[in-house]
Structure 1
Amino acid sequence: MSSASPKSGESSASVVGQRPRTVWLPGLAFCTAGMTVATLVASVLPAVSPLMVAIVLGAVVANTLPVPAGLAPGIALAARRVLRIGIVLLGLQVGLQDILGLGLPMVLTVVATVGIGLLVTVWAGARLGVPPAQRLLIACGFSICGAAAVAAVDGVTDAEEEDVALAVGLVVLFGTLMIPLVPAASGLLGLTEHQAGLWAGAATHEVAQVVAIGGTLGSGALTVAVVAKLARVLMLAPVMTVLAWRTRRAAGATDGHAGTLPPLVPLFVVGFVAMLLLASTGRVPAPVLEGARTLESMVLATAMFALGLGVRVRALLGVGVRPVVLGALSTVVVAGTALVGVLLAS
């Protein structure tokens, strides 16, 4: 990992002589600029999400240009705290009534897809010899909601930045491959537009990738695809809470070290659930929801650019083939579980 992406807990000794409240401004401004470029690119490429452009753009910059070390604090802030703000705002897009509208069989399919994806990926990762942190990040990223889930796991387990970058890179790689593969496979399997949309939402890693697939399948498929995907996003709250509890337990919170551990229920998870419940009341004006959606896209794109800056091609090539095999296996397991569930639900 580059020196431009330190852990958020890095000693303040590295920024001696700078004001603590402003040391992160250059890096945050840099990430905001990256978000702006990504948004402009996405505006002329309607099938591509600003979030995906931001990740790729960040990776290109990190691997082709020198990133000054002075930008590191702001980049770390964007990759962590800014991203958590984006996750909170994402809660406004998940209405419980929309999720329940999928029907109980499809809701159970989403729960089964996430649960089986997590368990099988972690188990297979252990069999393949993939380090614990890597397999957990890959499992959550592939089973729940892509890069946002990877970063959320990092927030409650304090994973190494190199492992986070690896998981994000794999999410981008395999999720992008799903964009042409899901529509093609849906046609071969004879799925209806509705079934194909449900499958896309329940099987694909990133919300942005789901939107790209749904747009290819048709307007009817796009709506159910996004709702099915948001149902998976909803699983972020319980999974992060369980991981935070496990982290505290493993570190021995009862031995007087609780102050250094993540809270039992991370604050961004509380915020996510609060926004979800607020959206579910149906009392949030449409213009407010639309403004929040735009702000969420900007905030998450800023964070995705920061995460992309941590994707180092040489580092990815140096980890070997095992994490890549695990990513492929996880994709097959999640997609296969989702397909069986969709067919049964139909």
Structure 2
Amino acid sequence: MQLSPVVTLPHRLGTRAAAVWPGVAVCVVIAAVATVAGHFVPILGAAVPAIVIGVVITLIRRPAERLRPGIAYSSKFLLQCAVVLLGAQLSLGSIARVGLESLPVMLSSLAVCLAGMWIIGRALRIEPRLRTLIGVGTGICGASAIAAVAPVIGAASSEIAYAVSTIFLFNVLAVVIFPAVGHLLSMDPHTFGLFAGTAVNDTSSVVATASVFSAAALGYAVVVKLVRTLMIIPITVTLAAVEAHRSASSGMSLRKVGTLVPWFLIGFLVVAVVNSLGVIPSGAQDFLVQASIFLIAVALAAIGLSTDVAALRRAGWRPLLLGAILWILVAVTSLLVIWATGGLA
């Protein structure tokens, strides 16, 4: 009898695969279309078109019942797998080189953003999960941070969709405005790379912003942004602890303590360490990074397909205002700390 779970495992896996593959296939097709769109319009990336296509399809016709298990699987498990693969972009060497210079800017802007999220979000009467998603998306790294935090706090699809769309809007504005600010302040490429890497969120938008300023600013901006991705870990673990405390009816058991760290964050760290050791060939590293980007698009397509559009309408203008205020706070804080540490003349 003890072996029965092992004996029946292939059957259970087959049953599960049969249940989820139709919905996963639909999400993969949407992600493929979104990836092509992102190739022609790089500032979009694949994430935003994927979620928009999913929402538009939902407005026209709700997905059939047989697609829902695969959509749910894509929006949760595949999203977590994407976070794991994000670790392939980082190495301990790059963290050590960039961390010392960029850490004061990153920590200051993140602290101001999270404080603003809590104070201003409460003042605007924004639902806690939505303001948390907008806060971590603005303060850390856009869709990647939202992807990591959403399952921990139990965010609804409509909240994820609103947060991703809000972050994207201000990323577009950053591409237009930030290079002009950099030239106005007579920044050199290195300084602007630090500014763009800490004040812009998604990688595609960091690349676009730094490229508009100068090709020399691009490399450093991307590395700063990737190091900034590490802030996902302490923030997600802290939120997991808060959620566990909030839902606990009694004291914290050893089992509860062990579940505070989501499995996908452990996977993220393992992949980053393995990459630091040089075990992953450069070709495989590129593949893993692209796979992560594609899986995020698959997951966001699923989130778009399961979005409650009426809930988006009910959210109104307040979350957008919160996103605008936090975006300004992060940018201003980054500039002030760069100036205070001698980065600006």
TMscore range, shorter length:
0.7 to 0.9
**1:237 corresponds to which of 233, 236, 243:** 233
1:203 & 1:129 partners in 2: Cα distance? 25
2:45 & 2:115 partners in 1: Cα distance? 30
What's 2:138 paired with?
A: 142
Distance 1:216 1:108, change over 3 A: same
1:182 & 1:312 partners in 2: Cα distance? 34
For residue 21 of structure 2, what is the amino acid of its counterpart?
A: L
Identity of aligned residues (%): 32
What's 2:7 paired with?
A: none
1:333 equivalenced with 2:336 (yes/no): no
Alpha carbons 1:83, 1:148 under 8 Å: kept: no
For residue 338 of structure 2, what is the amino acid of its counterpart?
A: V
Distance 1:306 1:185, change over 3 A: farther
2:199 & 2:249 partners in 1: Cα distance? 36
2:23 & 2:60 partners in 1: Cα distance? 18
What's 1:184 paired with?
A: 180
2:211 & 2:318 partners in 1: Cα distance? 33
After the TM superposition, which of the residue ranges 261-270 and 57-66 deviates more from structure 2? 57-66
Gaps of 5+ in 2: 1-13
Distance 1:60 1:181, change over 3 A: farther
Q: How does 1:281-292 map to 2 (within 5 A)?
A: 281-292=277-288
Give 1:321 deviation, angstroms: 1.9
1:71 & 1:340 partners in 2: Cα distance? 50
Alpha carbons 1:142, 1:205 under 8 Å: kept: yes
1:184 & 1:262 partners in 2: Cα distance? 48
Alpha carbons 1:89, 1:296 under 8 Å: kept: yes
Distance 1:330 1:310, change over 3 A: farther
1:24 & 1:77 partners in 2: Cα distance? 7
2:21 & 2:255 partners in 1: Cα distance? 28
Give 1:297 deviation, angstroms: 2.1
**2:213 corresponds to which of 217, 226, 231:** 217
Q: Deviations over 1:84-130 (max 9, x none)?
A: 11111101101222132225232221122222211221121112211
1:243 & 1:76 partners in 2: Cα distance? 22
Give 1:259 deviation, angstroms: 7.6
Q: Deviations over 1:176-203 (max 9, x none)?
A: 2222122222223322222222211101
Q: Deviations over 1:274-314 (max 9, x none)?
A: 11112222343212212212222222221232233355665
2:68 & 2:172 partners in 1: Cα distance? 28
1:53 equivalenced with 2:64 (yes/no): no
**Aligned to 2:261, what secondary structure does the other structure show?**
coil
1:201 equivalenced with 2:201 (yes/no): no
Alpha carbons 1:248, 1:262 under 8 Å: kept: no
After the TM superposition, which of the residue ranges 206-215 and 328-337 deviates more from structure 2? 206-215
**1:106 corresponds to which of 95, 102, 105:** 102
Alpha carbons 2:206, 2:222 under 8 Å: kept: yes
What's 1:15 paired with?
A: none
Distance 1:213 1:274, change over 3 A: same
**2:149 corresponds to which of 137, 153, 157:** 153
Task: Please say which structure displays the higher CA radius of gyration.
Answer: 2
Distance 1:218 1:266, change over 3 A: same
| TM, length-normalised to structure 1 | 0.86
After the TM superposition, which of the residue ranges 45-54 and 151-160 deviates more from structure 2? 45-54
Please report the RMSD computed on the Cα atoms of aligned residues, expressed in angstroms: 2.5
| TM, length-normalised to structure 2 | 0.86
1:74 & 1:322 partners in 2: Cα distance? 33
Gaps of 5+ in 1: 1-17
What's 2:115 paired with?
A: 119
Q: Deviations over 1:187-222 (max 9, x none)?
A: 233222222222111011212211221222232211
Distance 1:315 1:121, change over 3 A: same
Q: Deviations over 1:39-87 (max 9, x none)?
A: 2223334554223332333333334454334322212211111111111
Distance 1:149 1:253, change over 3 A: farther
**Aligned to 2:69, what secondary structure does the other structure show?**
helix
**Aligned to 1:21, what secondary structure does the other structure show?**
helix
Give 1:19 deviation, angstroms: 4.4
Alpha carbons 2:74, 2:298 under 8 Å: kept: yes
1:151 & 1:111 partners in 2: Cα distance? 21
For residue 243 of structure 2, what is the amino acid of its counterpart?
A: T
Distance 1:189 1:58, change over 3 A: farther
For residue 167 of structure 2, what is the amino acid of its counterpart?
A: V
2:61 & 2:191 partners in 1: Cα distance? 44
What's 2:302 paired with?
A: 306
1:27 equivalenced with 2:23 (yes/no): yes
Distance 1:26 1:258, change over 3 A: farther
What's 1:70 paired with?
A: 66
What's 1:273 paired with?
A: 269
For residue 40 of structure 1, what is the amino acid of its counterpart?
A: V
Alpha carbons 1:253, 1:261 under 8 Å: kept: no
For residue 74 of structure 1, what is the amino acid of its counterpart?
A: G
Give 1:33 deviation, angstroms: 0.4
